[in-house]
Chain A
Amino acid sequence: MNRLAWTSLGLSLSFAAGAAAAQQAAPPTVSVSGQAARLCRIGAPKVQVGSAVNLGAVDGQTINISSLADSATLSTKAISFDIDFDALCNFSHAVQLSSDRGGLWRVATGAASSATFADGVPYHATLVWAGTQSTLEASAASVAPKTQVLDVNSPAGGALVVQFRVDSGATDKGAGVPLAAGTYQDTLTVTLGPQ
């Protein structure tokens, strides 16, 4: 690599280490790393009162129906309202909508009603989330839990909506059957988590 040169009249020594061009240091790389944990969040329910039909008082997480029975027929009066939740999952996930009782069922306080009167009210609860939807049919066929699962193959965030609907005259004993007097109740639960 070094170079030695002689001239005729004298001695000339020339040393050059390496190429004539300036040498640039090879760039080292420092890596930077981090991680983002899997996370799902869901906020408190917010009932969209403005567009609701037959909606009564909302007390925290308890939603009261204004008039479950039509005053003239004593059968079910139509109900419609939407419930919004601020929600987030930062990975592919599943949303589960579950009913504790599979319908709005009369809370038993005495003897069972006869076939003349209905004890249960079926409803539909449609989950709208991440550009897709899925409906839980709480058909009031029996007092039993019911669950609907919606798989979402991407992260999602924003408003998760549950559209709650009861059809006019819908009962467990058939259309238009009058409802037995009492309190009718069910609990809906929305769960976000891994698939």
Chain B
Amino acid sequence: MARITCLAAAALALPGAALATPASEGPAPTTAAFSLSGAAPKACGLGTAGQSTLDIGEMVDASTGELAAISNPPSTSITGSWCNTASTVSVVATPLVAQSFAGQPPTGFTKAVNYTATVSAWSTNAAAFATNGNEAGVQRDTTPGSQPQPAPTATTIDVAVGSFAAPAASDFLVADTDYSGAITITLTPNS
């Protein structure tokens, strides 16, 4: 942005020099018209997440072997995000999947835990995506959740997770020290 302003100022100085020529020293001044135009492209920038990992901690209910009730999971914020035009915020996520468990889990067990990822504070309504993995962690629907923002915006985006659920309520979780999923957030200028 700063470079554009500098070049424009230099161009404007050219006709000014012609007008400064005194009338007594030569022919009457002539005029030259010129036009200026510029274009700022549509663009968005996403900042940095305060926490790159949201650690849910222990997920097993020790009394049942099923998914425990997970209350107050961690959240994070992405500061320094902006779009210089109307935009759309989108979110897609993958289930929490046991990374060390190879193959299909036995019947009655799951190696995946689903959740809902919510992105708020960018648009009027939060964009959300509910993972929909089966017991093996395979998702059938990866259509992102999206919400529009009609104005240029620069703000902090909040990212939260919740509504944790096993593919079937009666599923037992296979033991694993590393269940991992990922939330991907996208800001796109509207066309």
Which residues of A does B touch, CB under 8 Å?
2, 4, 10-39, 41, 88, 90-91, 130, 154-158
B34 to nearest A CB, angstroms?
4
When the two chains form their complex, are residues A35 and B58 in contact, meaning their CB atoms are under 8 A apart?
Answer: yes
A10, A29, A38, A158 — most chain B CB neighbours (10 Å): A29
Residue count of chain B within 8 Å CB distance of chain A: 72
When the two chains form their complex, are residues B108 and A90 in contact, meaning their CB atoms are under 8 A apart?
Answer: no
B57 close to A (CB within 8 Å): yes
A157 to B175 CA separation, bound complex (whole angstroms)? 13
B17 close to A (CB within 8 Å): no
Q: Which among A29, A37, A130, A155 is the interface contact of B58 at CB below 8 angstroms?
A: A37
- Chain B, range 160-176, C-beta contacts under 8 Å to A: 161, 172-176
Q: Closest A-chain residue to B176, C-beta based?
A: A36
Q: How many A-B residue pairs have CB under 8 A?
A: 184
B28 close to A (CB within 8 Å): no
B62 close to A (CB within 8 Å): yes
Contact (A23, B44) CB under 8 Å given A37-B62, A37-B175 = yes
B160 to nearest A CB, angstroms?
10
Chain B interface, DSSP helix/strand/loop, else mixed: strand
When the two chains form their complex, are residues A155 and B41 in contact, meaning their CB atoms are under 8 A apart?
Answer: no
- Chain B, range 109-141, C-beta contacts under 8 Å to A: 109, 113, 115, 117
Q: Closest A-chain residue to B104, C-beta based?
A: A154
When the two chains form their complex, are residues A31 and B42 in contact, meaning their CB atoms are under 8 A apart?
Answer: no
Q: In the assembled complex, which residues on chain A have CB atoms less than 8 Å from the CB atom of B161?
A: 32
Q: In the assembled complex, which residues on chain A have CB atoms less than 8 Å from the CB atom of B96?
A: 32-34
A13, A26, A35, A36 — most chain B CB neighbours (10 Å): A36
Q: In the assembled complex, which residues on chain B have CB atoms less than 8 Å from the CB atom of A13?
A: 7-8, 11, 34, 36-38
Q: In the assembled complex, which residues on chain B have CB atoms less than 8 Å from the CB atom of A17?
A: 1, 4, 39-41
Q: Closest B-chain residue to A131, C-beta based?
A: B106
When the two chains form their complex, are residues A2 and B3 in contact, meaning their CB atoms are under 8 A apart?
Answer: yes
A173 to B53 CA separation, bound complex (whole angstroms)? 68
A9 to nearest B CB, angstroms?
8
Q: In the assembled complex, which residues on chain A have CB atoms less than 8 Å from the CB atom of B78?
A: 28
Given contacts A25-B46, A27-B186, 6 further A-B contacts (CB under 8 A): A2-B3, A13-B7, A14-B39, A17-B39, A31-B181, A90-B173
Q: In the assembled complex, which residues on chain B have CB atoms less than 8 Å from the CB atom of A41?
A: 65
When the two chains form their complex, are residues B48 and A28 in contact, meaning their CB atoms are under 8 A apart?
Answer: yes
A156 to B181 CA separation, bound complex (whole angstroms)? 25
B2 to nearest A CB, angstroms?
11
- Fill in one digit per residue for B171-191: 1 if any A CB lies within 8 Å of its CB, else 0: 011111111111111111101
A41 to B64 CA separation, bound complex (whole angstroms)? 8
Q: In the assembled complex, which residues on chain A have CB atoms less than 8 Å from the CB atom of B154?
A: none
A188 to B96 CA separation, bound complex (whole angstroms)? 40
Contact (A155, B54) CB under 8 Å given A27-B46, A27-B184, A32-B181 = no
